[in-house]
Structures are given as C-alpha cells and as structure tokens.
Amino acid sequence: MARYDDALKYWEEGYNIVWDKYVDLFKSRYLLLKAKVLLRKGDYNEISDIIAEANSFHPLEENYFIAATAEFRLNRVESARKLLLDALEKKPGYNEAENMLMEIIPYSQFKKDNLYEPAGISWDTQKVFEEAISDFYRFDFEVSHQKFLNSFIKKPAIEILFRNWFKEECESLENILKKDKIKPEERNKTLLLLANLNHYIIGNGSAAKDYYLKLLQNDNENFEGYLNYGVIMQKERKYNIAFENLKKAVQLNSESGRANFFLGLNFLKIGNIETGHVYLSKAVKISVKFKESFYSQLILEELKSFVPYDDEDKNVINKYSFFFENSSELSEEFNELRNKFNNM
C-alpha cells in the first residue's frame, strides 16, 4: 500500500511542476495516471471525478475503461456498462472493454439489449453461439458442444459470455430448488438441467453425477436421467454401470437415437462389435445425424482398438463402412483399418 501512496505523492509533485506546461492531451493522460494508481490501490471513489476532469481536456478511450472498472468494483454495473460503451464507441475493437462488457453483463441481459455488436461479436458468431444454447436445451448435446467450440474459434473471448451464461443458469436453477414449496416434476426438471449443465457444459462430472442420482432417486422412470448418467459412466470407463443405465434408457424410449447410439458404443468399448452394430444402425435409422462426423469419429476410435478374432469378426467390421460414407477422410481411415484387419 505504501508504494501506491508514494506514487501519489510523486504524482502531486509532478503536477505542481509541469501541469501548466502540458497541452490538453497530456493533461488528460496525467490525470489518467493518477486514476490508475488509485485503481491499483483499491481506492475507487475519487476515480469518477478524476476521469471526468481528464475528459474535459481530452476524452481518451482508456479514460472510460478505467472509470468503468472503478464503477464496477463499486457495484455500479449500469454506470460501468455506459462507460464501456463510450469506450467502444470511441475505439471499436477495444479488447479490454469488449471482454469486460461480456464479463459484467448477464447473458440474458446481454442478449436482450443486443450487446453483441459493441462487444465485437459478429452476427455469424452470435448465431452459432445462440444455436449452441438452443441445441443444449433440446438435449442435442454433441451438436451443442461442437457449436460452442466453433463459436470460440470465431471469437475466443466469447468464452467469457459462455461462462456467464452457465453461471446465470445454475444460479437460477439452484434458487428454484431452494423454494419452500416445489412440485416434484419441477424439482426433477431442475435437477436434470443442473446435471446436464455440469456434465455437458463445463465437464464437472462429480457435480453432474450427484444431480443425476438425486433425480433418479426421485423418479426411477426418468429416461433422460438414465441416458445421461449412462453416458457419464461410459466416459469414466465404468462400462457395467453404463450398460445398466443405457439399457434402461432404451427400454424407456426405444426410439431415441442418442440412447441407441451410446448403448451401441458401449458394446464397442467391450469388444462386442456385432451387437454394437445393431444399436448403432438403429440410431442412424432413427436419425441420419448419427452419421455425422462427430459420431462417426467416436465409432472409428473404438474400432481402432479392436482386434478381430476370426473371419466372422472381419465380416462384421465390413458392415461398419456404412457409418463413414459422409466423410471421405473418415472413410479413407476406415478402409486402411479394414485392410489391416483383413491382412491379419
């Protein structure tokens, strides 16, 4: 703390010596320097007035950003937001201001007020990001995950907004669980969403498992609970537990493409490629999306670790070419693998 006090003392000494010699631009920068020291010191109350004086000489984009930071730390979010927008109007593409805008504004409000453009998020990135959220709520988790990744590639800083969305959703759902009177169906829906958010959005397997198990204790016929708990057990290589849950999911909803796909994948993981093919083929019949590259890649990775026992195994493997027809790259990999097996 003493070093900041020393810095302020030296600032005052410099002010007395050179202030009258400065042109307006340097006066603004000199006042900005004091504001930065106070920000580092944690003394935020004076900063707004200092920056206002600085702007009276020459408004700099960093003036607005430093003032916004101080206002946010004083819990004056709306004031901080206005200052950040001022900074971005003066300097579009100002990364620190863009990132802070995404950080301090909840996703729901960010979307409602259409702050994407000021934050430097192009319309196509916004579209992919919002589609990812919609896909998540349709339980299309693999597609959702891929779209989130694509939006991060387009604009890496959008991950800030992604975390904000997750945090806001979890807080809202946890508040529902705290209600004195909550209907069983509302509790179960809330537990499922919390489990899925932790499982598929941030990969917090421990929290996700707790929520799935609470859900299944309350509702032992919950299809989504069994399916997604089975998937998380599969990821943890607990294949017997995964079978119990995925088979129950298929029993509850035999026309679910995801349930059939991941049950088939579980058979592949234990080396039963014939039964695996039955369920994977059914998944594709239910929805052709299970021939998309993401799902085909999962199948191929399991086949790579398989060792055929006899010619019958090789004949079954030949049937898998069907899953790679939509990708020349994956088809080529599969054919190389099949040739290796046939030469064994």
pLDDT tens for the chain, residues 1 to 344:
568 888 999 999 988 888 888 899 999 999 999 999 999 999 999 999 999 999 999 999 999 999 999 999 999 999 999 999 999 999 999 999 999 999 999 999 999 999 999 999 999 999 999 999 999 999 999 999 999 999 999 999 999 999 999 999 999 999 999 988 899 999 999 999 999 999 999 999 999 999 999 999 999 999 999 999 999 999 999 999 999 999 999 999 999 999 999 999 999 999 999 999 999 999 999 999 999 988 999 999 999 988 888 888 888 889 999 999 988 999 999 999 888 887 77
Domain end: 201, 236, 260, which one?
201
Residue 8 lies in a domain: yes
Question: Is residue 49 in some structural domain?
Answer: yes
Pick the last residue of a domain from 167, 201, 235: 201
167 and 100 in one domain?
A: no
The CATH number for 12's domain is: 1.25.40.10
Asked if 314 and 341 count as a contact pair (C-beta separation under 8 A), the reply is yes
CA dist 36 and 16 (Å) reads 19
pLDDT at residue number 341:
83
Outline where the chain has alpha helix (H). 2-18, 24-41, 47-57, 61-73, 77-90, 95-104, 107-112, 123-137, 141-154, 158-177, 184-196, 205-218, 223-235, 239-252, 257-269, 273-286, 293-304, 311-319, 328-342
Q: Is residue 268 part of a domain?
A: yes
Domain that holds residue 131: 119-201
Contacts 24+ apart (CB under 8 A), 82-85: 85/118
1 with 99, same domain: the answer is yes
Does residue 55 sit in the same domain as residue 131?
Answer: no
302 and 339 part of one domain? yes
80, 172: one domain = no
Domain membership of residue 245 (yes or no) is no
Question: Measured between alpha carbons, how far is residue 335 from residues 191, 233, 300 in Å?
Answer: 44, 31, 11
Number of C-beta neighbours around residue 145 at 10 A = 17
Domain count, the chain: 3
Q: Decide if 341 is inside a domain.
A: yes
State the burial class of residue 16 (Cβ atoms within 10 Å of its Cβ: 0-12, 13-18, 19+).
exposed
pLDDT recorded at residue 180: 84
pTM, rounded to two decimals: 0.86
Cβ neighbors of 96 (< 8 A, separation 6 or more) are 65
Residues 152 and 178 in one domain: yes
The verdict on 265 and 319 lying in the same domain is yes
Please, is 82 exposed, middle or buried when counting C-beta atoms within 10 Å of its C-beta (0-12, 13-18, 19+)? middle
Q: Are residues 264 and 341 in the same domain?
A: yes
Q: Which of 177, 201, 225 is the last residue of a domain?
A: 201
Question: Within a domain: residue 113?
Answer: no
- The answer to the question of residue 233 being in a domain is no
Within-domain flag for 138? yes
Query: Which pLDDT value is given to residue 306?
Result: 86
Q: Verify that 263 and 318 share a domain, yes or no.
A: yes
Residues 283, 344: one domain? yes
Q: Are residues 100 and 126 in the same domain?
A: no
Structure confidence at residue 181 (pLDDT): 87
Same domain, 154 and 189: yes
